[in-house]
Structure 1
Amino acid sequence: MFVRFKALNVKYQVWNFGQRILFQNSYQTKCLPNSVRFLSNQIVESTSSSSQEKRSDDVIHRNWVKPVAISGVALFAGFLAYKYLNKNDDDKNPLAFSLSPSVNAAVPTTNEASNRSRFNFFADIVEKAAPAVVFIEIKDKRHLDYFSREPVTASNGSGFIVEDNGLILTNAHVVINKPHTFVQVRLQDGRKFIGRVETVDPVSDLATVQIDCKKLPTIKLGSSSDLRSGEWVVALGSPLALNNTVTAGVVSSTQRASQELGLRGKNINYIQTDAAITFGNSGGPLINLDGEAIGINSMKVTAGISFAIPIDYVRDFLEKSQQLRDNKKFKPPPARRYMGITMLTLTDDILTELRQRSHTVPVDVKSGVLIWKVIIGSPAYNGGLSPGDIVTKINGKEVHNTSDIYSFLSEKGKALNMTVYRGTQKLEIMIVPEEMDD
């Protein structure tokens, strides 16, 4: 059991103790000489000796000095204790004094951040970049929805705002080569605007779209030159028309040459990532942990293998497009016949990867073009093509890369008789591309 005293009581007791000693000793020092003097007279009278009188004076001196010294020390100690306790006293609750050390209860810290706020770095960068990501819909003016009487959506994609005056960056295949359509841009807050396709580069698959809106949030363009394999990245976009979708992964390769992907005529080293990029993610930003765009989502081969256009290449495109807008020398790309597909050349590496992931790829397929997206309502959709089909021949001629299909599309008036592998099944499909004269 602890014996505790209030600090104020202690300091007052010490002070009173010193006073009592002083008063008692003072009284003794006053009274002591008289009594001694009385005793001395009697001794003188009885003995009449001078030596006895001297001894009495020594006794008086000793009895007077000792009490005074003790009282002085006591007063000085009390004064020090009083000053110390006054210095450490609390205004409201005086310090407590105990004979044993006191133990304070543990107080939980309230300023320490929770694990959610400390480690959810993906949520932080998404909160920073997502307001500048847009959902792009291609509306078909010839087909109206039965209930709303509005044009139906022929295809969709993504984009992101690079200038606060409404300039949007996206993929070229998202917004071009679709007849009888117009571009509609939906912002994250739900507002919709009609977009104007301004500049297009079919070689790099980049395009800009302008909307009439000011003071919009933008995404800062980072740098892809110092990107490292294994870095965390986040892909933003609208896969399968599910806008404001977030997927995350790492950079698998920073320098995947276009020749490895079978993309002829393109001098681009793509960023390969395992972040999920699905139909509709095209044109959306691939951002780093600083919330900067380091690439543009472009294509997906299979689960875990997707590609993005490096942002350093995009910077050059934006500079050239700005010069074209300033000089007003921009001309739209030459129109081809419209089929409504997105495709990828099959290389040996891609075929090997596909066979490892799925055993449905025929062994006798050595080359061809992989159909990885078919736009609903397009000639390819109406003719029966499906995502995942492998085109090996057109009109009896072998197809080795995407350039062969573009060559066939440039020949007006001809239907395309395609030999297609759907899994292990071999099909013959006829596609009649749509003319782009109007």
Structure 2
Amino acid sequence: MNFLRKLRTLDLNVTPICLTLFVGPIRCRKQWFYSKSPKRRFPNATLNRFRNFESEDLPHSRRDKTLLARRFVPGFLIICASGLIAQKIQYFKEKFLSLLPPVLADYSNLTGRRTEYGFIADVANVSAPAVVYIEIRDKKRIDYYTGQPTPISNGSGFVIEPNGLILTNAHVVIDNNLKNNMSILIKFVDGRTFEGNVECTDTLSDLATVRISGSNLPTLQLGHSSSLKPGEWVVALGSPLALSNTVTCGIISAHRKSEELGLMKKQIVYLQTDASINQGNSGGPLLNLDGEAIGINSMKILPGISFAIPIDHARNFLQTSTGQKYAQSSKSSRYIGITMMTITEPMIAELRRRQLSLSEKVREGVLVWKVVPHSPGESGGLHPGDIITHVNGVEVKSSVQIYEALAEKGKPLDLVVYRGQKELKILVKPDE
């Protein structure tokens, strides 16, 4: 219908112009009245006199008026005739369109669906007040414009006790490079900010608690992850790329043992989900449709393949971590400033399917997920997306081997890295 209306408007505007442009010049060049061929199309005295009109001996002024009339009057008449024709065309088109039945969308069956199927929005509205944005700052580096410590990294967390206990990932709040120069800013969705202190950590499970001074704070209820089935709807809340309170949803894809992911020492059955979990989502809650926290968002391997720590494992951490503080749990180790993840053959096959430039020589290894700016890893030449296949001449099958190499004091890391199709040799000198 819209196409026909546009066509009608186009005809009304363009038809007179086209007739004038094409028919007028033809008339002025005498193409209507005679042919250039020796055989004349209309051999009669009137046309012969008209063809030889310019050779007649007429006064100059009369000749000019006659030429002017001969050149412009036919064009004017043609415009008038084309306007009448266009009106008739419009009339018949309107008649034709009036015969067509009207086509209208039927919205009667859709009424009320926003309320009936808005379960994701309901979960987000109930849970969002208890989700916090966590920002790690360097107290030694002051921002010139704000006068505040410079932000280094960020993540998410959620309140589990009204007196200010927050559960998050250990890698969100631990930065060995900052150590005593680190400060933690906690921000709620309503704009309130607090200074946080790391209370307990478990680097093996990648869990930590942060304490803030507050009372009657909104909290999330902890659910049970053992009863989750693949295919159940889940909602992920967090602050990806510092965008606070971002909501994504998906399903539970599977339960994955840590050994399947190359994490030999963790002994965790991770929740695999296709809900989007990006940098900054770490530490945020994974919720069921009852608004209960059933997992802690932890890591993303590929788009559509992310993992969360089950809340049942976090319950055990909360019960056994009351006596162990962060200052006592941090161990001195060498630092290279990268976040890495063990990748298996199925993951490499998926990477190769999505990234055609990945070398066929890569079978196993460790994926460099993040490189801290100005760290030994960046100085050595590591980039996010690199795959480490050898360290100090030994084939790498797990990130544990990287940590073991870091435990050897005074020895640099001689790495073989694949970046797309290129094989690179990189020497990284860790900070002691």
The TM-score, its normalising length taken from structure 2, stands at 0.70
Equivalent residue number for residue 23 of structure 1: none
Equivalent residue number for residue 331 of structure 1: 328
Q: What residue identity is the alignment partner of 2:424? A: L
1:177 Cα deviation from its structure 2 partner:
3.6
Structure 1 residue 307 corresponds to structure 2 residue 304: no
Equivalent residue number for residue 294 of structure 2: 294
Q: Is the 8 A contact 2:200 2:326 kept in 1?
A: no
**Aligned match for 1:404, one of 392, 397, 401:** 401
Change in 2 beyond 3 A, CA 1:146/1:414: farther
1:363 Cα deviation from its structure 2 partner:
1.0
Q: Is the 8 A contact 1:154 1:375 kept in 2?
A: no
Change in 2 beyond 3 A, CA 1:192/1:414: farther
Equivalent residue number for residue 354 of structure 2: 357
* SS at 1:260 equivalent: helix
Gapped runs of 5+ residues in structure 1? 1-111
Map 1:254-265 to 2 at 5 A.
Answer: 255-265=255-265
Which segments of structure 1 move beyond 6 Å, counting only runs of 4 or more?
Answer: none
> Any idea what the Cα deviations from partners look like across 1:94-136, whole Å, max 9, x if unmatched?
xxxxxxxxxxxxxxxxxx9833222211111100001111111
Counterpart CA distance in 2 for 1:329 and 1:415 is: 28
Worse overlay, 300-309 or 357-366: 357-366
Counterpart CA distance in 1 for 2:217 and 2:118 is: 26
**Aligned match for 1:153, one of 106, 131, 151:** 151
Equivalent residue number for residue 279 of structure 1: 279
Equivalent residue number for residue 433 of structure 1: 430
**Aligned match for 2:341, one of 308, 321, 344:** 344
Equivalent residue number for residue 214 of structure 1: 215
Counterpart CA distance in 2 for 1:145 and 1:329 is: 27
1:313 Cα deviation from its structure 2 partner:
0.8
Change in 2 beyond 3 A, CA 1:213/1:433: farther
Equivalent residue number for residue 166 of structure 1: 164
* SS at 1:392 equivalent: strand
Change in 2 beyond 3 A, CA 1:410/1:191: farther
**Aligned match for 1:178, one of 176, 179, 184:** 176
Counterpart CA distance in 2 for 1:422 and 1:138 is: 30
Equivalent residue number for residue 137 of structure 1: 135
How many residue pairs get aligned? The number is: 320
Counterpart CA distance in 2 for 1:426 and 1:158 is: 36
Counterpart CA distance in 1 for 2:241 and 2:276 is: 12
Q: What residue identity is the alignment partner of 2:206? A: D
Counterpart CA distance in 2 for 1:284 and 1:374 is: 22
Q: Is the 8 A contact 1:177 1:336 kept in 2?
A: no
Equivalent residue number for residue 200 of structure 2: 199
> Any idea what the Cα deviations from partners look like across 1:51-102, whole Å, max 9, x if unmatched?
xxxxxxxxxxxxxxxxxxxxxxxxxxxxxxxxxxxxxxxxxxxxxxxxxxxx
1:377 Cα deviation from its structure 2 partner:
4.1
Q: Is the 8 A contact 1:260 1:349 kept in 2?
A: no
The TM-score, its normalising length taken from structure 1, stands at 0.69
Structure 1 residue 224 corresponds to structure 2 residue 225: yes
1:382 Cα deviation from its structure 2 partner:
4.1
* SS at 1:212 equivalent: coil
Map 1:81-100 to 2 at 5 A.
Answer: none
Change in 2 beyond 3 A, CA 1:241/1:330: closer
Identity, in percent, stands at 55
1:389 Cα deviation from its structure 2 partner:
1.1
* SS at 1:259 equivalent: helix
Q: What residue identity is the alignment partner of 2:308? A: A
Gapped runs of 5+ residues in structure 2? 1-109
